[in-house]
Structure 1
């Protein structure tokens, strides 16, 4: 079972439904993911169990990122040993910053994206044109309702500009928070269907001209902190009336000087959550459609073929 946000074949307003073997089932009286995240966990489960039958098939709809309205995306950093090592390598002058944060009681947490700037499955991600080295960061993301209950899990690609962050850690907002720098999807897998989020395999692949130029595998078993601990820290001085998606950090980072670029495709798979795939573009120009889709969701129709893999 997976909760998805989608545009029907005829266009119109986005809908929220569940992917089942027989197709897509629409959630009754749930017009947005944010509305779902304003509900208690038990009520979300009941809504999923009492979804209505639909004749729609997955291949007929346009998938949208499973975040909307005022829902925010936040991220944790340096939560895996591999991430710590990569940050220390790219930022020699400030390596001790990343070394200290890995073992500190308080985690690194930062705002990643507003819902409208998030791209979904098969929509393009962008790399900054003013950064020489840019990488995908495959991450398990936690979906949390307004009551601080973990209600689901999804995949996040926390696209990062290593050149910019490596120059100075204070440049992190510029390296992490820009148009096309955050992908989430393909949908939300309900928390009650995941036995243990700390035992999920993660795979990432970069494809260039039809060939794999980088790949890696890891497991959330390597996560240095627990999911519940990260959620607790995030809520110590914050409130999220429309829910929040918290990406838990990356365990897969390509070795320097590898970089993704325009024409590449990034594919991230997490056990039980599916695959998030995104073509890569460069700069802000090819992402102008994203600002237009804020008021006109049909702008997304030409961006993907809506296939959930």
Structure 2
């Protein structure tokens, strides 16, 4: 079972459940976390609670493709994990400007260390949903999407759902100096999540999500690569445990788990490209790419 948010005919946001046969049932909640709270209060699992709500009710007489989808959750914060896949480590090592060092790099060290790399990726005002544009940073010439599985967690660190995330990244900025990571990762519309949240209790094996990224230019497919979460070096609970350690985390926080899909090294996103990230159990997260033109400040 998946949870979505969409705009109804009156431009009001609606939370809805999508069953495995793709029937859509609007729910009397304002937010994904309301489902988790109400189910717990009723002593039921989220799926059983939703089934009680929708039993005997008519489904929405629309197809999912007809809806104006929103971010499935207005996450107060989105955090991200880095260098959790071998391919990610290789890409980070390639892009670094310090090619003279033949020894162990900082990326090699974090890949093998007990402590993972975790960083703040986005906030609710910087995060967009399906079909909204992600922006290209104006001071970077080497930008790519990073397709990732996202964990939706409670403030205690319980994983209550899975979603898709696009961790937009500037390879040249981070490659110049790892201390530039925040600038390589965080700017306006630099993160997208969606199109739905798969309730965690409905996933038999979360280490078997197949992730596919497709990039279109002038309506032509120019990049298509796939990976599987079985390639992940770290466990989800391990990543979550480091995020919440001595940290204040909010209900509905999303933690992106890293990527194993990196476009060719000679590839960079361009204005008017379109990015699709698919995990069959969750859906397809599609976003157009737009240039973010830096405005001149007049004193």
TM category (shorter chain) comes to 0.7 to 0.9
Match 1:259 to one of 268, 274, 296: 268
The equivalences for 1:6-17 within 5 A come to: 6-12=6-12, 14-17=13-16
The equivalences for 1:47-66 within 5 A come to: 47-52=49-54, 53=57, 54-57=59-62, 58-66=64-72
* Whole-angstrom distance in 2 between the partners of 1:271 and 1:108: 27
Shift of 1:40: 6.6
* Counterpart contact for 1:126–1:179, Cα < 8 Å: yes
* Counterpart contact for 1:269–1:275, Cα < 8 Å: yes
What does residue 67 of structure 1 align with? 73
The equivalences for 1:15-164 within 5 A come to: 15-20=14-19, 21=21, 23-28=23-28, 30-36=29-35, 38=37, 42-52=44-54, 53=57, 54-57=59-62, 58-68=64-74, 71-93=76-98, 96-164=105-173
* Whole-angstrom distance in 2 between the partners of 1:40 and 1:22: 22
Shift of 1:237: 1.6
* Counterpart contact for 1:34–1:71, Cα < 8 Å: no
The secondary structure found in structure 2 opposite 1:126 is: strand
Gaps of 5+ in 2: none
* Whole-angstrom distance in 2 between the partners of 1:125 and 1:195: 32
Q: CA deviation digits over 1:17-69, x for unaligned, max 9?
A: 112346321223x211343455676553343223343435234432101221x
Shift of 1:76: 0.2
Please give the TM-score of this superposition, normalised by the length of structure 2: 0.88
Classify 1:115/1:183 alpha carbon distance in 2 versus 1 (closer, same or farther; 3 Å): same
Classify 1:231/1:142 alpha carbon distance in 2 versus 1 (closer, same or farther; 3 Å): same
Classify 1:158/1:47 alpha carbon distance in 2 versus 1 (closer, same or farther; 3 Å): same
Q: CA deviation digits over 1:185-212, x for unaligned, max 9?
A: 0010011111111112111111111211
Moved more, 109-118 or 76-85: 109-118
Q: CA deviation digits over 1:263-289, x for unaligned, max 9?
A: 111111124121111110011579xxx
What does residue 176 of structure 2 align with? 167
* Counterpart contact for 1:38–1:146, Cα < 8 Å: no
Gaps of 5+ in 1: 287-309
Larger radius of gyration: 2
Classify 1:45/1:149 alpha carbon distance in 2 versus 1 (closer, same or farther; 3 Å): farther
Classify 1:211/1:60 alpha carbon distance in 2 versus 1 (closer, same or farther; 3 Å): closer
Classify 1:37/1:129 alpha carbon distance in 2 versus 1 (closer, same or farther; 3 Å): farther
Shift of 1:163: 1.2
* Whole-angstrom distance in 1 between the partners of 2:80 and 2:258: 7
What does residue 302 of structure 1 align with? none
Please give the TM-score of this superposition, normalised by the length of structure 1: 0.85
RMSD, matched Cα: 2.1
Equivalent residues, number? 283
